Structures are given as C-alpha cells and as structure tokens.
C-alpha cells in the first residue's frame, strides 16, 4: 500500500513539474491567436478558443455525473483544474460509491503545433490529449466505519478531448477520460 501511494505522489509531482515548465515557456509563445486577412465575400472563420475558459460538462453514459472547472488555453497546451463528480450511485442501487475528485492537470493540443509552427489556420476543431491527477473523496449513504476510513483516494486520469468552436465565446466539447463517468459532453465558455 505504501509503495502505491508513493508512486501516485511521484506522478502527481511530475505532472506539476511539467506544468511549471510549460508555464515558464509561455513567454516564447505568441500572446494572441493568429488572424488571417479576410478577402471580401469570404465567410468569417471561427477563431480557436483562446485564454481562460469555464468548462461545464455532463455525463449520462457510463454513469451520471457533472464536471466543472477552469481551463487556460494556449496554442499547444492547456492548464486546467476540474472538479469531477460521479453521482450515479446516489440514484441507482450500485456497489460503487459516489465520489468527488479535484483534478489539476494539463493537455497538449494536437493541432496547435501546426498553427504555432506552420502558421496554419484553425480547423474549427481541436484534439487535446492530457493528464490530470488529484485527490478525491468517496462516500455512500449507508457507509460502514471501515468505508469511512477509506474515503480519501488519489486519482490519475489520462483523457482525450475534442473541442469545436461554436461561436466567438463558446466551444462544444466531448471528453473521454479514465475516471467514472468516462464520457462527458459539455461546453467551454470564454470569460
């Protein structure tokens, strides 16, 4: 048990070191997304989601849950903090326990590399591959004292996210993670 806790702590610290490294490299990245000159008569393209976003997502596939958090988007990465809840065991008779998890993390924006290095235009969608790690609390309506002692858990969640610009301040998203509920649908709202 002690060895697995130490491994979780190492993974968590490594993710924060990577996050700090990308934050300091931020000075080398452009400050605003590129703007392409628009010719007369052409439709105005949607810009990539940029800067601070609020992410709100729901899941009814693979469990009922809610995800809410903050995402800071850049060309090739995001920094984020999410609160993910698995509420399905509260409504359905299940051997699982309801839980709430706080997950700081980061992701790499796959198509961001072609926009940053090659100067390509935003495709209208992006794919993020990322990792989140953090503490969680599990609970049940009729827990025993032994279950109460095991409420705290550490969670490591790799995830994939597809975002698509809906308007200037709104982007739709589909996210697939390894933590219940695994499939989430939602929005990014720029603030």
Pick the CATH number of 2-26+48-190 from 3.40.109.10, 2.40.160.20, 3.30.360.10, 3.40.250.10: 2.40.160.20
pLDDT at 1: 46
The pLDDT of residue 122 is 85
CA distances from 106 to 22, 146, 157 (A): 9, 34, 11
Confidence (pLDDT) at 185: 96
Domain coordinates in residue numbering, the chain: 2-26+48-190
pLDDT tens digits along 33-57 = 545 544 554 444 467 888 899 999 9
> Which ranges of the chain have pLDDT less than 50?
1, 18-32, 34, 37-38, 41-45
pLDDT at 44: 42
Q: Which long-range contacts (CB under 8 A, 24 or more apart) does 158-162 make?
A: 158/129, 158/130, 158/131, 159/107, 159/128, 159/129, 159/130, 159/131, 159/132, 160/127, 160/128, 160/129, 160/130, 161/107, 161/127, 161/128, 161/130, 162/125, 162/126, 162/127, 162/128
Report pLDDT for 119: 83
């Amino acid at each position: 048990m002690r060895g697995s806790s130490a491994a979780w702590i190492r993974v968590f610290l490594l993710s924060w070191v990577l996050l700090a490294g990308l934050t300091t490299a931020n000075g080398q990245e452009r400050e605003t997304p590129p703007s392409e000159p628009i010719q007369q008569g052409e439709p105005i393209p949607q810009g990539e989601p940029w800067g601070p976003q609020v992410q709100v997502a729901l899941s009814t596939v693979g469990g009922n849950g809610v995800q809410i958090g903050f995402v800071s988007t850049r060309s090739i990465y995001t920094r984020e903090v999410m609160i993910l809840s698995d509420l399905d065991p509260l409504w359905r008779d299940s051997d699982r326990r309801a839980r709430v998890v706080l997950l700081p993390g980061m992701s790499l924006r796959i198509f961001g590399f072609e926009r940053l290095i090659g100067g390509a235009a935003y495709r209208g969608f992006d794919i993020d591959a990322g990792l989140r790690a953090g503490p969680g609390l599990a609970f049940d309506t009729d827990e025993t004292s032994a279950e109460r002692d095991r409420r705290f858990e550490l969670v490591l969640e790799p995830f994939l996210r597809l975002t698509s610009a809906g308007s200037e301040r709104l982007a739709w998203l589909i996210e697939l993670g390894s933590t219940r509920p695994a499939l989430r649908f939602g929005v990014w709202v720029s603030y």
